Each structure stands twice: as C-alpha cells, then as structure tokens.
Amino acid sequence: MLQSDEPNLLRFLKEAGYFVWWGGKNDLVPGQFGLEQYCDVKHPHPDRKSRSVWSDLHRQDNWRGRPEEDRFFSFYYGKIEKPVNFPQEEQFVYDGDWHHILGALTFIRKAPRERPFCIFLSLGFPHPPYGVEDPWYSQVQRDKVPARIQTIQDWSKKPSILKGIYDHQRLWDWTEERWQELSATYYGMCARVDYQLGMILGALKETGQYDDTALFFFADHGDFTGDYGLVEKTQNTFEDCLTRVPLVIKPPKNVPIHPGVRDTLAELVDFTATVYELAGIQPGYTHFGQSLLPVIAGADQGHREAVFCEGGRIHGEEQAMEPMPETGLENWLYYPRVHLQHSEGPEHTKAVMCRTKDFKYVHRLYERDELYDLQSDPVELDNRIGDPGLAPVENDLKERLMNFFLETGDVVPFRLDKR
C-alpha cells in the first residue's frame, strides 16, 4: 500500500490535467487517505439489491462441497448457470466486473471533451474461484487446452511453501481430465475479459476517441491453475506461470509501431515509464522504469538483459502477513496458503529473483536458493543451485542481483528541505 507522500501514476496524471476515472477494486491506496488526490471519480461498488441475479463466489461458499472432499480447497466452481427465472432484459450474470465495465462504457460515451482522460479498470477476473458463465464457459475446446506442468515428485529442491500448500489443498488424486476442466474454466474467464476489452475498444471507436487513446492491458500476477499440482498463487515463489504475465499495448495513432509479439524482458515499472513518455510527464522522482516505446517501434533488442521480482518477509514482520479470519480458519478458502505465511518457519521466507532469457536465480532467506536453466528446463523442475557446471552463471546472476540492490536500494528526494 502507498504512503501518503509516495509517487503514484494516477496522482501524476490527475495533476497533469487528466480526468481520472477509477473502476474496480482498490489494492493501492490505504483507506484512511481517501482517493481525492488520485482520481476525479471512483466508480461506486454495486448495490447487489439492484440486480435480480448476482454472482460472487467468494461470498457464496456452499459450492465448495464438504471439508473432507478433494475439491474443497480447489477453487473450482465451473459453469455459472443462469437461473431458470433469469430476466430477459438482463444480458449477464451480474458481478463487480460487469458493473465497472458498464460504468466505464457510460463514462466513455459522456467523457468531458475539454480534458484528456484516464480510465483505470481494476477487474477481478480471471482470479480464483474458477467459474464463468456461458458463452465463455463453453467457448473453450477442452482438447485444445495446453497440458499443465506435472505435479512435483521431489519437493526437496523447491521452496517449502509449495509443498505446504500442496499438502493442504489435497488435490493429490485429481485426474488429468479434472485438471483440464479447471484450466479450461480459467481460459473461459480470460475469454470473458477479452470480450469486455472489446466492448471498451468498441466504445472508443464509436465516440471517435480510439486513435487518440493509449491502451495498456496486463495482470498483476499469474496463476498455477494445476501447474505443479497447485491452484491459486504464492507471494514468494517466482515460477513463470506466476510472474510472466502478458502485456498488451496499443499506443495513439501518431506513435510509431511495428505490430507483433515481442519476447522482451520487461517489468511493471516500464509500464509507468511508458505512460510518462506518452503523456509528457516529468514525475520528479528517481524511478527505474524504461519506456517501452522503442520496443513497440521495432527495437526489440537491448531493452533489459534481466528482470527482478521480490516477495515474502523476514521473521517477525507480522505486518507482512495476510490477515486471517477469527473463526472457521481451517475451512477458509485461502487457508492452505495464508496460514503458512503466519509460520516462523521457512515457508514465507523473503526472496528475490533475477531472471534473464536463459536462466533464473532466486536468493532466499532461511532456505535453499534456486537456479534454473530455462533453455533445458523451461518448467523449472530441476533446481541446479550449487551445480559446478553452472557456477559462472550463478556468479553472474548474483552480481546482477547485488547491482540491482545497489542501484535501487536508496534514492535521494528531488525536493530540497528548508535546511
């Protein structure tokens, strides 16, 4: 969560004259600060009583089955059915995402033309629980779903939190057909988000604003969805299925582009730096993002040789533990992962990753480091830390990691004090 004086892209855009419309969840600004300095409009949360049909799988818990069943911690729901009495005038099985998408469409069609605007849509999909309605549930051909990464057989070289989650989720006996169905449902959730994105693009085109609009489409993290025999995510492991998330960029028409897919290493801070360049904003603080405009113009090489990711906590950092319910803890949907974050063992150890195109190194407090040759082992099953054959690689990545902390560990404010 931000502190009140920390730099923030939405605030900078608002201060630069943009009308900022924010729809969706707030995992950014502490509630006590208010949102006035970050946006002009925070789209209100929906009134569930205003809709005859409402879907919220986090609040509706009976779909999980009995605690002893092997699907109880699977997050799997499947097809969200429309009730028999589903009103004809309703297009969707309504939820928070639909509420904010429809709000954004209304805003686009009525947006103030005297000011540029920014729409920040923070959607819930595709997030567990895994459930979606038709037509998206049925759109995914099950036999076309990519095979999952197989369940780990030897956990001794992997982070201990993975084994802990595996033991508590109890998905040991799931067949490949069940895993395939879970993954297909997740793809259906992605398909629904794709459809919603198309609605946003359509509204921009209808109102003549598409050519002048920059669009960034990305996720905050990935999901196991069966990989390694797990579901959901972790906070301190860095498998590609969690950390390598898509980023789609559509710049304004006047920006040079070479359309296509880039296999370029990038970090989230590069998104911010790209927006700064497009908007002509000088943010007034030291940041470490690199604009992606040269990349989308066709200069695919040389953007970043390595990227970094951090997570976990040091012992005693209770403020870095996710809160748990006071009652019903062992039956809580997130119990398999979150209760391990409250352990003083190694499970929630602080860790940092350095990844190049060919290798991934993870340095961990309290437990074994990791090193993967991504060319020969792209699914990261063979931890080769300490392997003499990769000693030069390990030393190189450790040096990159040290330089990363040296470069980003401390910055001097631009604003001078009265002294």
Q: If you write DSSP's letter for every residue of 94-161 in order, what string do you get?
A: B-HHHHHHHHHHHHHHH--TTS-EEEEEE---S-SSEEEETTHHHHS-GGGSPPPPPPPS-GGGS-HH
pLDDT attached to residue 86: 67
pLDDT attached to residue 398: 98
Contact assessment for residue 182 and residue 242, using Cβ atoms and an 8 Å cutoff: no
Contact assessment for residue 381 and residue 375, using Cβ atoms and an 8 Å cutoff: no
Q: Is 60 helix (H, G, I), strand (E, B) or coil?
A: coil
Contact assessment for residue 174 and residue 404, using Cβ atoms and an 8 Å cutoff: no
pLDDT attached to residue 172: 96
- Distance of alpha carbon 104 from alpha carbon 96, whole angstroms: 12
Cα angle for residues 325, 327, 328 (degrees, 5° grid): 95
pLDDT attached to residue 418: 84
Contacts of 158 (CB under 8 A, 6+ apart): 152, 370, 383
| Structural domains of the chain ordered from first start | 9-303 (3.40.720.10)
| pLDDT tens by residue, the chain, 419 residues | 667 778 899 999 999 999 999 999 998 888 888 899 999 999 998 776 665 556 788 888 889 999 999 999 999 999 998 777 766 666 778 889 999 999 999 999 999 889 999 999 999 999 999 999 999 999 999 999 999 999 999 999 999 999 999 999 999 999 999 999 999 999 999 999 999 999 999 999 999 999 999 999 999 999 999 999 999 999 999 999 999 999 999 999 999 999 999 989 999 999 999 999 999 999 999 999 999 999 999 986 779 999 999 999 999 999 999 999 989 999 999 999 999 999 888 999 999 999 999 999 999 999 999 999 999 999 999 999 999 999 999 999 999 999 999 999 888 888 888 88
Whole-angstrom CA distances from 256 to 185, 214, 251, 261, 294 are 37, 13, 9, 15, 9
Give me the amino acid identity at 235.
Q
Contact assessment for residue 199 and residue 151, using Cβ atoms and an 8 Å cutoff: no
Contact assessment for residue 359 and residue 397, using Cβ atoms and an 8 Å cutoff: yes
